Structure 1
Amino acid sequence: MSLSTKHRSTLAASSALALAQKAFEIGTDMQVAISIAVVGASAERLTTASMDDATMHSRETSLKKAQTAASTRRATGWMSGSLAVELPMASGGLLTNVPGGFPITIDGVVVGGLGIAGGTVEQDAQIATAVLNAFLPETTEAKRGDGV
């Protein structure tokens, strides 16, 4: 038996920075001091950034949201009942159920994850959705992983 490789598409660093810039613009417009994280397809950190008045913990929360979305290929917040506690605990805190994380899907392939934290969960999800829609207007909730 021979070994084989599999090509895995991931988001470019320049795209991660563009997403972060757009998130800052939207956060500023909404008067919400946010942190943003963008990760690649394997949940590796591409960029993290926090607005001046963002809370300290929002940086870590945004990263967990982005990593969860990339890993599960679903928007965060889908876990219910005991699963919402058990999965984060079993993963050593690597997964979160807090809304505001979305997979980044291009041509049907998840190439990364986006996480926003710092506002209410509704504001975080609204900002993340607006950021993705600015770059991927054809993306629907189902394509991002919601309701799967």
Structure 2
Amino acid sequence: MEFKKVKKIFRVTGIKGKESFANFGTEVPKLAQQFLARLDEIDNHSDTEIALFEPKRDDNHLEGHYYVGVIVKETKKEVPIGMDYIETTFDYVTTRGKINDLNKLHNNLLKWANEQGYKRNLESHIVETYHPMENNEEEVEIYLPIYS
């Protein structure tokens, strides 16, 4: 696993959801499928699917919001009804691996970030981008926002 620090801009058109953190694993993919059924409504998009997650700040923080969408190539002034445009620029620590290893990737990235002395920015979205591979496999790239 490779870890690194990057500064990145994400331009996203997507749909917002709100759910208990415990249900993110089932509800986020459901909303993503609804979004993908409307993908043809978005012009000038890349083929990279993306999700942005409100970080869980503590044990009492039970419900969070998230966005599922697609990276777009330029700033949007208008988006389809029921969708939002989000643009975010932060410093992140990042890693990439198989989506089946998602929890392990998150845990290892958090551990590495702590070892490097990075402080997490819990006011900014956690970002995941999804990348189809051969043999119906998929990789995920995780971006955890940090203070620079």
Q: TM-score, normalised by structure 2?
A: 0.31
Higher strand share: 2
Q: TM-score, normalised by structure 1?
A: 0.31
Higher helix share: 1
